[in-house]
Every structure is written in structure tokens, then in C-alpha cells.
């Protein structure tokens, strides 16, 4: 087998290192965000099931709170999977913040946070776009766990 004497014996890692570090840094950020959002979803869901029922009697508002917590928890896991896909990670983070956040606020005080009504569907669109970014992004981009 002939070898090319002009090619280096070791790959040029200097040119690849900044991109790898950037991907690892954003992957770690998305990983931590997904974990924190997941923990918050469990806490907010428990609050909705126990503490909120003492203050709000409208079953529709309680259902909205439950939906917000459920979507936040599901998409927190999706964010963990997408931690190395910056497009999907950004869309999931924005979508959870807008969708679940606006539902939480509207449940607590509909009149005060009425302006957030249009934000909820925008958050939903971001969540759907995050799934599409996973579907059509680089294969396997979301399957590598970030290194710390």
C-alpha cells in the first residue's frame, strides 16, 4: 500500500478545535438548560396539581397549566437530545419559554398578561420547528452527549 508523503501523519487538530469547542460549549449550555427546564416543569406541575387548586377553581385554567407543564417537560427531554444541534436547541428553548411561559402567566392573571395571548402559538411554532430541525438537520447531531 502506497502512502502519500505529502500528507501529515497527524490530522491538523488546530483547525478543527475551535468548532469542536464551540459545539461542546453550546451543547453543554443546551444540556443544562434542558435539565433545569425539566426540573422546573416537575415543580410547576406539582404546584399546579396541589397549590394552584387552592387559588384557582376554573378547570380550563388548571388544564392550561397542566398543558404548559407537560409540554415543558417533554421538550426539556427533547432539548437534551438536541443539545448538539444548535438550531433545534435554540428553537426548543425559545418555544418552551414562549409557549409554556405564556400559559403559566395567563393562568395566574389573565387580565394582566392578556398581551401574551399571541405569544403562545408562536412558541408552539418554535417547538414544531425544533422537531423539524432535528428531522432535517445533520443526522446524529443531537445524539452525542456533551462533554464537560
Rounded CA-CA distance 5/9 in Å is 9
Give the per-residue pLDDT at 30. 95
pLDDT block averages, 10 residues each, the chain of length 148: 58 51 78 97 96 92 97 98 94 98 97 97 98 85 53
pLDDT computed for residue 138 by the predictor: 75
Helix (H) or strand (E) segment spanning residue 43? helix 13-49
What is the CA angle 90-127-73, rounded to 5?
A: 90
Count helices and strands (H / E) in the chain. 4, 0
Looking at residue 26, its pLDDT comes to 85
Tell me what pLDDT residue 80 has.
96
Helix, strand and coil in the chain, % to nearest 5:
70, 0, 30
- Beta-carbon count within 10 A of 138 CB: 11
- Check residue 53 and report its DSSP letter: G
| CA–CA gap between residue 79 and residue 71 (Å, rounded) | 12
pLDDT at 14: 52
pLDDT of residue 10: 53
pTM: 0.79
Amino acid at each position: 500500500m502506497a502512502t502519500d508523503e505529502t500528507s501529515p501523519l497527524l490530522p491538523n487538530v488546530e483547525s478543527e478545535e475551535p468548532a469542536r469547542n464551540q459545539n461542546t460549549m453550546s451543547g453543554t449550555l443546551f444540556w443544562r438548560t434542558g435539565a433545569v427546564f425539566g426540573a422546573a416543569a416537575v415543580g410547576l406541575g406539582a404546584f399546579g396539581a396541589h397549590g394552584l387548586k387552592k387559588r384557582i377553581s376554573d378547570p380550563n385554567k388548571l388544564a392550561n397549566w397542566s398543558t404548559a407543564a407537560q409540554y415543558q417537560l417533554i421538550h426539556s427531554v427533547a432539548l437534551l437530545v438536541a443539545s448538539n444541534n444548535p438550531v433545534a436547541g435554540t428553537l426548543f428553548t425559545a418555544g418552551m419559554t414562549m409557549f409554556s411561559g405564556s400559559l403559566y402567566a395567563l393562568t395566574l392573571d389573565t387580565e394582566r398578561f392578556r398581551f401574551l395571548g399571541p405569544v403562545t402559538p408562536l412558541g408552539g411554532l418554535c417547538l414544531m420547528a425544533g422537531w423539524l430541525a432535528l428531522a432535517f438537520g445533520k443526522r446524529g447531531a443531537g445524539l452525542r452527549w456533551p462533554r464537560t
